[in-house]
Amino acid sequence: IKWSGKSYRVSPVWRWVFVCIVLAYFARNQFVRTRDWYSTRTHSIYWVSQQLSEIEPMVVGGTVACAVVAENDGRAIRIGKPGWCNYERPFERFGLTHLFISKYASEEPRYFKLYPDAMARARPVRDFDVCGYLFTLYEVLPDKRSPAPGSVE
């Protein structure tokens, strides 16, 4: 090791001791975080999905739409940011009946900017707390030009 212009020799034993201390530190931190998560887990996605099972027919869109239909018969369309997936005319193409979106990472304002006509017909139904983030379920009222719920253009 060079420090302040001088060379110092470190024994291989001390190198192993240092590596073991660093690994033990990170292993302990991961164990503590996993233990804390396990003791406070909430199954919130499972609960939200069960709550939404009462809505028939449901074609839900949004970034996390796939998770909220895991425990019900709804269909999900993942809508990503522009340039990602299904962002071009999702309401007309897939006949969305609902949106499940968050204010986190500017998702909700992005929908109002990209789809002003559809969001003008959308009304908030309920808010859900999922893993500490607030999500809003919107019901999208049908447009005369939209296909039947769940049909693909």
- The chain-wide mean pLDDT, for the chain, equals 87
> Which pLDDT tens digit goes with each residue over 59-114?
999 988 998 898 899 999 999 888 888 888 898 899 999 999 998 888 899 999 99
Interacting residues of 52 by C-beta distance below 8 A, sequence separation 6+ = 58, 60, 68, 69, 72, 74, 137
Of the two residues 123 and 147, the one the predictor is more confident about is 123
pTM of the model: 0.69
> Which pLDDT tens digit goes with each residue over 37-54?
888 777 788 888 888 888
* 152 pLDDT above the threshold of 70: no
